[in-house]
Structure 1
Amino acid sequence: MRKASLFIVVNAISLYIVSLLLNSVYISSFKSLIILTLIFGLLNLTIKPILKFFSFPITVLTLGLFSLIINGLVLKLAFSFVNGVYINSTLSAIGASILLSIVNSVLYSILD
């Protein structure tokens, strides 16, 4: 339970920081942020492993760089499900997912 609550808190803070740093990412309210965090977590648990499985050959060919595109697609998909949040394009989602990974790493090292 502690790990799940830490995941939700860290991802919510990270998504908020990413929305502050990038003009292409907009989150209108705290409620939208929490819903986005939960949906993003669910997509990371369900859709992302399926995408990684089927894209394994291209991920190997690109030496793992294709996983950045998968992360961006999952983030863009999460943004499409929630009202009150916006991300410009898939390229913005890929950039936001890279920044999100960096912020998550920093926050996990501080909080855990």
Structure 2
Amino acid sequence: MTGFLIRAVVVGIGLWVASRIVSGISFATTETLIWAALFLGLVNATVRPVLVFLTFPITLLTLGLFLLIINGLMIQLVAHFLPGFHVEGLWPAILTSVVVSLTSWVISWLVGPSGYEVYVVRR
């Protein structure tokens, strides 16, 4: 559970950065941003693996680039069900997924390869 919350915080930071960089994405309140990070983590853990499995042939043909569209669709799905989180189309959603991924990568690089696990074990 702690690992999920740490990842949700990292995703929340990525979503906040994306809302500052990408036009077409916005949050009504900070509380909405927190809920969006939690819901995105939940959707990525449940819905995304099913879509990745079902679209494997397309992903293989595009050499993995179709995963960007799947990630954008997951962000749009969260925005559809969460009032106060607005995404104005697929391109802003895809750009948001790229920003969230890059932010997560940078934070992982700063923390170290086993930073999440070290935090969980020391608890």
What interval of TM-score do these two structures reach, taking the shorter chain for normalisation? over 0.9
Letter in 2 for 1:104: S
Does residue 35 (structure 1) correspond to residue 40 (structure 2)? The answer is no
Q: Secondary structure at the match of 2:13?
A: helix
Identity percentage over the alignment? 36
Letter in 1 for 2:79: F
- How many residue pairs get aligned? The number is 112
TM-score w.r.t. structure 2 length?
0.85
Letter in 2 for 1:53: F
Is the contact made by 1:10 and 1:108 (CA closer than 8 Å) also made in structure 2?
A: no
Name the counterpart of 2:108. Answer: 108
> Gaps spanning 5+ residues in structure 2: where?
116-123
User: 1:108 deviation in Å?
Assistant: 2.1
Name the counterpart of 1:49. Answer: 49
TM-score w.r.t. structure 1 length?
0.93
Letter in 2 for 1:63: L
Letter in 2 for 1:3: G
The residue correspondences of 1:15-26 to structure 2 (distance < 5 A) are 15-26=15-26
Letter in 1 for 2:74: V
Structure with the greater alpha carbon radius of gyration: 2
Letter in 2 for 1:76: Q
